[in-house]
Amino acid sequence: MTSSTPHAAAGASDAEAAEGRVYTVSGEDWDEIVAAANEAGDFESGERIVVNMGPQHPSTHGVLRLVLTLEGETVVEVRPAIGYLHTGIEKNMEYRTWTQGVTFCTRADYLMPIFNETAYCLAVERLLGIEDRIPERARIIRVLMLELNRITSHLGGIAPMGLELGATTIYTQGARLRERGLDLLELITGLRMNHAFIRPGGVAQDLPLGGLEALRAFLDTTPKLVHDLRTLIDANPVFIGRNSGIAYLDLPSCMALGVTGPMLRATGLPWDLRKSQPYCGYETYDFDVPVAHTCDAYGRYLVRMGEVDQSLRIIRQCVDRLASRGPADSVMIRDAKIGWPAQLSLGPDGLGPSSEHIAHIMGQSMEALIHHFKLITEGFRVPAGQAYAAIESPRGELGAHVVSDGGTRPYRVHLRDPSFTHLQSVAAMCEGGFVADLIPAIASIDPVMGGVDR
Amino acid sequence: MSGPEETPKAGPEDTGGSGTPQRPKPPAADVAAAEADGDLPARLGRARLDAPVVRRGMFGVQGTPDTSGYGLLSVYEARPIESTRPYGSYFDEVADALGSALEATGIGFSDAIERVVADRGELTFYVPRERLPEVAAKLRDDPALRFELCSGVSGVHYPEDTGRELHAVYHMLSITHNRRVRLEVSAPAADPHVPSLVGVYPTCNWHERETWDFFGIIFDGHPALTRIEMPDDWKGHPQRKDYPLGGIPVEYRGAKIPPPEDRRHYS
Amino acid sequence: MGIEEKLPSGVLLTSVEKIAGWARARSVWPATFGLACCAIELFQTGGPKHDLARFGMERASATPRQADLMIVAGRVSQKMAPVLRQIYDQMSDPKWVISMGVCASSGGMFNNYAIVQGVDHIVPVDIYLPGCPPRPEMLMDSILKLHDKIMNMKLGIDRDRQITELEEARLGIQPLHIASPEGSQL
């Protein structure tokens, strides 16, 4: 078959019959052909194709649009375009009270809703000046929920990664594991996601009856399942072949691009805000910070699975502490002007204020009724100022910059989302590589477009 | 605007008598000392009551039979605080190191830093916009400072702060010294230009685009300042205070609920 | 189109409808338009615990050309709306739409400048599924209701009649809110 283009002509034996340069392709020599063509200057006009990996794509972890300039299979330029999920969460929060803001910010990065809530609540508590008055039981439950959410978030990133690489078993097994975590989240908060559980001043409600037993059952069975999943993936030659050496981003690049989280720890730097700038009592827990040294997608995967193990360790410590404390502790700050008055109980008509609480506000204490009323309708007032609270989320440093003008509503809330910052590094990681490497690269960033676009 | 506007708020419960209200002396501007007192919310509350009133009237939606908010509402202006030395914790070290780094290149500390606030465990430098790249470069490069990581830009719009409406807030993290600092820059809405920090901290690229998209702050020197979240042909800057939330009334059977921006509010 | 479009209304057409409906309902391929939080619940529904594969739906076709069902899972922003319409147009008939979650059905809690208040402003919706996000069981219930709808969908001349009847029924729905005096908001 002859060809009149300078591209490789398969099986062209008749050099005179073809116009232009003829390349003989016999297999496994694509590099030589491209090198020869470049040398010959055949690509000087630029045989480049612009391809749109549009917002609707099974492998781009959500509505991410990538505009690629390709030269053959090599990516010459990649431009991520975002904004397809922009919801105006930050502006919406300016029209709600401080506590209602939790229900909005929780939907920003929807794989780690507890982290969004915690960052926001820590910033609000710093503005209120009540950071050291949060009850200990509330702090332990916060750590428990954060680590549980970390496990479900990492699995929620690794399972689609398997699907995108074509390994459907990783997806089904990851989804199965994640279900167990979601069952626990549902038992404790009432919802599988977007919980609105962490509130300024504490948490919404205490663990239900049977919660500690369910947690212990989870802790007994999950390590083996995680181990099974790792047996499937870790030494898999196809997985290693696709992820090892891909999406290289070393430490100076991470610093320049503002990259934190597993991507930074995969370069070898053990930077974890839970250890260096602890919050919610993390300094009292015993855990390690897993680190890899390969700076590539495979290293990031190892860091994430290591964090799952460490999270299980922390949850075990939380369960022991909660069991030893007894249920009489409160989970919301004992300040009637701030603490959300939610003493809920399950009645014949569903979940609602417990009869004791209703009796208290209706019959026993006028102040309690007034506080309840004012807190629900107006909300508490936060003194003017600004605060930035950063926590170590599964994706990196999640920060909440909260500005108050002294009123009952946030003046400005900005969520510094790690996925937003990390997506900038796609170009640095992928240009010069192959198109097929784009998928594991983005999967190794693990972006969640809700957080990117907010 | 309906509602009594002339009569000033004169709650008998906090004056202890008729006539001029007796208010305690305003607390010192140094909030760090007040914090040591343990009485921070009360002190800040008193400081707020001493600020000038910017808005009066009945709160809630006007022109409706809504009778809530029957009492009098006074909204107080949030006064900018300024801290005096010593700032406490590592803030003095950072301020000193920044001062000496700036002086080494011939820039005076008070030229480069308008105001320092150490509030609630956080240090903020208010920087005039022309000085921003230099200050940021010093923060990044000086060995005593080494703020390697910039967490990004956050915009805030203060429409009452005439001449300085648009603020850009940068949060820096030093991994070497385990410290945080905040830089705040302001620009008037009539001339919303701020120098770009992409040359110093490349991570600010998308953050500055987002701040341009939502607030209209133009970052001079940015390689490609285009809209990032909103569609490319969107008009207006949505997160400014004068941009409406844009909701529509919600229909139920038998009622129509107004969107959040039109509902009653208490502040 | 096919022979079923040319058959006159009668026993033969009804039998063809039954068979075609039965076949179509058994292998609906979703073009998952997973946008936001609901996409995560959709992804969990495809997992082993709540198994979408039992309906023949685990083969989610990324390409809309081979998809039958578009599950709009999540909030549709103004920037995404034209993309949604384009994907819907690229799907070939017969196609159905489930708007999963309150954000897709009505804008949900985001009543603002950035979110389209209900995906039925852009595409015709067959099943509205509320929830924030809806549980996988709720999603499966909506899929089963859609299967009912598909199985009872008529073809050819019967379909034209059915469409006319549905239109007339919709035009006869009374307005939702009672007339209230100007300016009053309940």
Note the pLDDT tens digit of each residue in A145-169.
Answer: 999 999 999 999 999 998 888 888 9
Which residues of chain A from 409 to 438 reach within 8 Å of chain B, CB to CB? 409, 411-412, 414, 416, 420-421, 423-424
Q: How far is A224 from chain C (nearest CA, A)?
A: 18
Which residues of chain C from 108 to 167 reach within 8 Å of chain A, CB to CB? 109-110, 112-115, 132-133, 135
Partners of A389 on chain B (C-beta within 8 Å) are none
CB atoms inside a 10 Å sphere around CB C104 = 31
Which residue in A401, A408, A409 has the most chain B C-beta atoms within 10 A of its own C-beta, making it the best mutation to test that interface? A401
Which residues of chain A from 125 to 184 reach within 8 Å of chain B, CB to CB? 126-129
Partners of B242 on chain A (C-beta within 8 Å) are none
Chain B residues near any Cβ of chain C (below 8 Å): 61, 63-65, 229-231, 234, 238, 243-248, 250-260, 262
Q: Is the peptide bond before C133 cis (omega within 30 degrees of 0)?
A: yes
What per-residue confidence (pLDDT) applies to C56?
84
A345: enclosing H helix or E strand: strand A344-347
What per-residue confidence (pLDDT) applies to A260?
93
| CA-CA-CA-CA dihedral for A428, A432, A433, A436, to nearest 10 | 90
Q: How far is B17 from chain A (nearest CA, A)?
A: 24
What per-residue confidence (pLDDT) applies to B38?
57
Query: Quick one: DSSP state of residue A28?
Result: S
Q: Where are the beta strands (DSSP E) in B130-206?
A: 149-157, 166-174, 179-187, 193-195
- Which residues pair with residue A52 across a beta bridge? A67
Mean pLDDT of chain A: 85
Closest alpha carbon to A263 in B203, B142, B207: B203
Q: Is the pLDDT of residue C19 over 70?
A: yes
What's the sign of the alpha-carbon dihedral C41, C46, C51, C54?
A: positive
CA distance B130 to A175: 52
What per-residue confidence (pLDDT) applies to A70?
87
Partners of C178 on chain B (C-beta within 8 Å) are 254
Q: For residue B173, give the chain A residue with the closest CA.
A: A258
Which residues of chain A from 185 to 244 reach within 8 Å of chain C, CB to CB? 192-194
What number is the average pLDDT over the span A221-247? 91
CB contact under 8 A, C178 and B259: no
What per-residue confidence (pLDDT) applies to C8?
75
Supply C163's token pair: 């469409």
Query: Helices (DSSP H) in chain C: which residue ranges?
Result: 3-6, 11-26, 37-45, 81-90, 102-106, 136-151, 156-171
Q: Is the pLDDT of residue A357 over 90?
A: no
Taking a C-beta distance cutoff of 8 angstroms, is the pair A409, A95 a contact?
yes
Is A255 an interface residue toward B (CB < 8 Å)? Answer: yes
Q: Is the pLDDT of residue A63 over 50?
A: yes
Confidence band for C105, pLDDT divided at 50, 70 and 90 = very high
Q: How far is A56 from chain C (nearest CA, A)?
A: 7
Taking a C-beta distance cutoff of 8 angstroms, is the pair B197, B131 a contact?
no
CB contact under 8 A, C49 and A159: no
CB contact under 8 A, B247 and C176: no
Supply C115's token pair: 């979110």
Partners of C113 on chain B (C-beta within 8 Å) are 238, 243-247
Which residue in C50, C71, C80, C102 has the most chain A C-beta atoms within 10 A of its own C-beta, making it the best mutation to test that interface? C80
Q: For residue B263, give the chain C residue with the closest CA.
A: C185
CB contact under 8 A, C36 and A449: yes
Q: Is the pLDDT of residue A423 over 60?
A: yes
What per-residue confidence (pLDDT) applies to A397?
93
Name chain C's partners: 3 or more CB pairs within 8 A: A, B
Q: Is the pLDDT of residue A405 over 70?
A: yes
Question: CA of A416: how far to CAs of A129, A143, A447, B151, B199, in Å?
Answer: 22, 21, 13, 7, 20
CB contact under 8 A, B231 and C78: yes
**DSSP output for C125-155:** -SEEE--SSPPHHHHHHHHHHHHHHHHT---
Residue ranges of chain B with pLDDT lower than 70?
1-41, 44, 54-80, 264-267
Question: CA of C92: how far to CAs of A35, A260, C7, C63, C157, in Å?
Answer: 43, 44, 22, 11, 20
CB contact under 8 A, B182 and A388: yes
Is A172 an interface residue toward C (CB < 8 Å)? Answer: yes
Phi, then psi, of A24 in degrees rounded to 5:
-100, 125
**Which residues, 6+ apart, have CB-to-CB distance to B184 below 8 Å?**
B124, B125, B126, B127, B167, B168, B169, B170
Confidence band for A289, pLDDT divided at 50, 70 and 90 = very high
What per-residue confidence (pLDDT) applies to A27?
58
pTM above 0.80, yes or no: yes
CB contact under 8 A, A175 and C32: no
CB contact under 8 A, A156 and C40: yes
Question: CA of A164: how far to CAs of A111, A167, A263, A334, in Å?
Answer: 18, 7, 19, 48
Q: Is the pLDDT of residue A350 over 80?
A: no
What per-residue confidence (pLDDT) applies to B25?
39
Q: How far is A154 from chain B (nearest CA, A)?
A: 23
* ipTM of the prediction: 0.84
Partners of C110 on chain A (C-beta within 8 Å) are 87-89, 92
Taking a C-beta distance cutoff of 8 angstroms, is the pair A451, A417 a contact?
yes
**Max CA distance (Å), chain B:** 72
Partners of B66 on chain A (C-beta within 8 Å) are none
CB contact under 8 A, B253 and C183: no
Partners of A450 on chain C (C-beta within 8 Å) are 36-37
Q: For residue A257, give the chain B residue with the closest CA.
A: B203
